[in-house]
Chain A
Amino acid sequence: MKVLAPNGEKLNLMPLNVGPSHGATHGCLRYFCALDGESIVATATEIGYLHRGFEKMAEQGTWQQVIPYTDRLNYCSAMMNNIAYCRAVESAYEIEITERNKVIRVIVNELSRMADHSICVAAAAQDLGSTTGFFYLFDSREMMMVIWEKLTGARLTNSYARIGGLYRDTYHGFEDDVLEVCKQAEKNLKDIHAVFDRNRIFLDRTVGVGKISKERAIDWGWTGPCLRATGVASDLRKDEAYYDYETYDWSVVTGSTGDVYDRLMVRLVEMEESIKIVRQALKRLKPGPIDIVDPRIRVPAHDLTYQDMESLIGRFKSVYEGVRVPKGEFYSGSEVANGELGFTLISDGTGKPWRIKVRPPCLTQFAAFQELVEGSMLADSVATLSSLNIIAGELDR
């Protein structure tokens, strides 16, 4: 491919198409490289291979019927998306959920965050050629999946949160299972640090690769662990604390240089922080109501509908017409594993959303991809891509 560079230089480059079906592009996305030998001179990214029209689909049903669609956004931590969506709707109502609900949501959030970070770092390990690292991290994730299964009945696309409540209370023995996962995750983290921390090959592959400065990251609109890896201590759980996150004892993890190494290590250390939060939350888990008592928002419990006239009406109304979110435009961003997952809800006061706009965290990160990889080698682009944790489900929606 003969190319005339902007500076007038004539280059002979090899075009190489990575994706959409390629081992390194987890999910479906494509980047097109112009290679000079093995180094990437220019690259262009393309998304949309997994576009399912989430936002349009959300307009077709009631407000509650959007919840299962949100599972398919970031399918590595599905329940976090439900919780973020429900939080957005609840913030439109300006209601407070019950204490036990908050604590359960925190536990589920943090476990999902651990699962998501596990997948990201495990996939990065696989991409860097270490299958063993992959399996070490998947160990505790598998235990989390078993908890999800018991909690919600599904393994991957599980929806647990409901507007103003939860699908159901936790099962008997939930606390023990969670504690066991924490223990196993700590062990696996120790293993993975032993495999990678002082491994020369790993350091060569990751340190200084895919670097981005603080300012550029903010310019691109980065959030979450990738932004924190550049040294910006930005975490919605601290900045706009919700679910009493500010009362737990944990710290925001930041990196220093914003390279692949920092992004992976920030995720691993964040898992440790999540374990800390989960342990504290388990202590706060007191028996109590799960759902708020308001038939206009939360569907009344099933047994009530047989005894109580208002509950029966409430149940019919909210199932047939949907909950009526107050008229107006609302935005609520939650800190999910990848960064800020924002839902813009526009309601016309009926039971159906008029418009839902999602702000997926990894879209902004993937937008900066070409800036990160241009000038580096082909193998670096793979390491960079996996450290950004691009989940095609939420990238394309």
Chain B
Amino acid sequence: MIEIIQSKHWIEWLINIAKFAFAFVPVLFILLLIPLERRGAGFIQDRQGPNRSYFRLPYFGKIRLFGWVHNASDGLKLFFKENYAPHGVNKLLFLLAPAIPFAVVLIAPAVIPWFAPMVFTFGEEVIRISGQNVNTDVGLLLLFAISALSAYGAVLAGWASKSKYSLLGGLRTTAMIISYEVCLGISIMGILLLAGSFRLDQIIAWQDAHVWGVVAQPVAFFCFLIAMIAETGRAPFDVAEGEPELVAGFHTEYGAMQFGLFYMGEYSHIGINSILVSILFFGGYSIPFVSTSTIQSNVGISLGVLAFVFVFAILAFLHLLYRYSRYLKKSSYANKSAILREYSLYKIVGWAAAALLLAAGVISIMYFKPAYTLIDGQAVYGIGVALGTAFIQILVLLAKAVFFCWVWIWIRWTLPRFRYDHVMNLGWKVILNVAIVNLVITAFIVKLIGD
């Protein structure tokens, strides 16, 4: 035991343990995605979306936070509702089923590389820390294996509910997830051949050295995206919960937080899948034309630029606020003064954050000039640079993932739902074949050109 503890430096232990926090990134995605989806749906459908609930602050009055309070209260309501099980259900499976998709998704981030492997000097020692929690050669396979387990949630729920609608929903899910797992696996084989590894960090390294996966494997990207949406069970592939014919599919009989858990499982699944798409086809944490060593040698400037990006985003947000405030002032809404009060808080917070970030950026550019030591001909920096670089890379990865989350929402609120047999046709007769042809062609090219 002592030997295991002593095999690593204490700072290595500390960072490795801190990395466990990444398990909760899917939970963060839930917090982001629920408001994003509901307000996004409102945006697409020419309506407001949920924005009713508020908390009160002195002077500023009702604070709605653009609908976040509403969604938080909806979530809270689900927690306090009665857990109800219909008569005659299989109690154990009925209670267990909603937990599975959510629990599984908490394991999935273990193999995702969040940042490039850190190498830094700490005191006398050189410390290396990998970007993922579980540093294994079967990374991607493990991820697929884990996320495929979430099908059990739907299947067991469908079976245990003792309702025919649920049963049909569960059966549909089983068939669909099995079919689309095949497409999913085959469609990424091309990029795996190019990178020559199942390790996600090596796939990113290959993309960093050559081009993004989406340029090298455009066909695979589209196959993968479709298969991924289908595997998540989201519209237009949500035949499992096809609400008109099957009421709500496998979760017909669920209410309260049990129902909420299915949704949380689905949303965190979207989060994980978005991260996966950005890793496999959009370079993961890497920034085009900027290598990790470039970031490290210019870490002050990089952090400064990051701060400026944030300042720009805040200014854009403030611009919207001011424009809408002007519109409100002219309008005849009864509650316009209350809304303007509320906005004044956002404006204050926005300006303060912009000023602070601007100052931080300037300071970082001017004073953050790291020292380095040469080890094996490579510059190795201290822990500050390593953490700063990791921070930038995590944000880059998350930004890409959030964009794909929006793609998910966008697709859901644009397209009608497939019929069950059409989904199967698309999976087996179109996507699988396209993916196989793509794989064969890629294999030829890789063999001919060599690497």
Contact = CB atoms under 8 A, between A and B. Distances in A.
B419 A380 contact: yes
Contact of A379 (B41, B46, B235, B420): B420
Contacts of A196: 416
Interface stretch (B59-67, B238-246, B287-295, B313-321): B238-246
A381 B415 contact: no
Interface stretch (A5-13, A133-141, A297-305): A133-141
A199 interface: yes
B247 A205 contact: no
Contact of A16 (B41, B164, B235): B164
By size class, the interface of chain A is 20 to 34
A129 B236 contact: yes
Given A23-B243, A23-B244, A132 B413 contact: yes
B244 A24 contact: yes
Contacts of B422: 201, 204-205
A135 B47 contact: yes
B415 A199 contact: yes
Q: Is the contact region of chain A dominated by helix, strand, or loop, or is it mixed?
A: helix
Nearest to B235: A129
A151 to B, nearest CB: 23
Contacts of A126: 244
B103 interface: no
Interface string B224-252: 00000000000110110011111100000
A240 interface: no
A16 B163 CA distance: 10
A378 interface: yes
A268 to B, nearest CB: 15
By size class, the interface of chain B is 20 to 34
B416 A199 contact: yes
Contacts of B247: 22-23
Interface string A283-301: 0000000000000000000
A127 B244 CA distance: 5
Contacts of B46: 135-136, 139
Interface in B247-305: 247
Contacts of A201: 236, 415-418, 422
A128 B416 contact: yes
Contacts of B41: 131-132
- Chain A CB within 10 Å, residue with most, of B44, B245, B422: B245
A165 to B, nearest CB: 37
A199 B421 CA distance: 17
Contacts of A195: 414
Interface string B117-147: 0000000000000000000000000000000
Contacts of A381: 245
B442 to A, nearest CB: 27
Contacts of A23: 243-244, 247
- Chain B CB within 10 Å, residue with most, of A18, A23, A379, A380: A379
Contact of A205 (B165, B235, B238, B416): B416
Interface string B161-196: 000110010000000000000000000000000000
Interface in A194-208: 195-196, 199, 201-202, 204-205
A362 interface: no
Contacts of B418: 129, 201, 204-205
Contacts of B416: 125, 128-130, 133, 196, 199, 201-202, 205
Interface in A1-40: 14, 16, 18, 22-24, 38
A320 B225 CA distance: 71
A24 B165 CA distance: 13
A133 B235 CA distance: 14
B45 interface: yes
A183 B233 CA distance: 38
A118 to B, nearest CB: 14
B44 A132 contact: yes
Interface in B45-60: 45-47
Nearest to B243: A23
A382 B416 CA distance: 14
A50 interface: no
- Chain B CB within 10 Å, residue with most, of A128, A129, A205, A379: A129
Given A14-B164, A23-B243, A381-B245, A130 B417 contact: yes
- Chain A CB within 10 Å, residue with most, of B235, B244, B246, B417: B244
Nearest to B45: A135
B414 A129 contact: no
A377 interface: yes
Contacts of A16: 164-165, 168
A87 to B, nearest CB: 36
Contacts of B238: 129
Interface in A161-212: 195-196, 199, 201-202, 204-205
Interface in B191-243: 235-236, 238-239, 242-243
A387 to B, nearest CB: 12
B244 A204 contact: no
Contact of B421 (A38, A129, A202, A382): A38
Nearest to A376: B419
B45 A379 contact: no
A381 B419 CA distance: 11
B168 to A, nearest CB: 7
Given A14-B164, A129-B235, A378 B245 contact: yes
A253 B276 CA distance: 50
Contacts of A18: 245
Contacts of A24: 244-245
A196 B417 CA distance: 12
B174 to A, nearest CB: 13
B429 to A, nearest CB: 13
Interface string A352-395: 00000000000000000000000001111110001000000000
B19 to A, nearest CB: 40
Contacts of A14: 164
A386 B417 CA distance: 15
A195 B47 CA distance: 17
A275 B46 CA distance: 22
A124 to B, nearest CB: 10
Given A23-B243, A128-B244, 17 more contacts: A16-B164, A16-B168, A22-B247, A23-B244, A125-B416, A129-B244, A129-B416, A129-B417, A130-B417, A131-B41, A135-B45, A196-B416, A201-B416, A204-B418, A204-B419, A205-B418, A379-B245
Interface of B: 41, 44-47, 164-165, 168, 235-236, 238-239, 242-247, 413-422
26 contacts: A16-B164, A18-B245, A38-B168, A129-B235, A129-B242, A130-B415, A130-B417, A131-B45, A132-B44, A132-B413, A132-B414, A135-B45, A135-B47, A136-B45, A139-B46, A196-B416, A199-B415, A202-B416, A204-B419, A205-B419, A377-B419, A378-B246, A379-B239, A380-B419, A381-B245, A382-B245
Closest 3 CB pairs of A and B: A129-B417, A135-B45, A130-B416
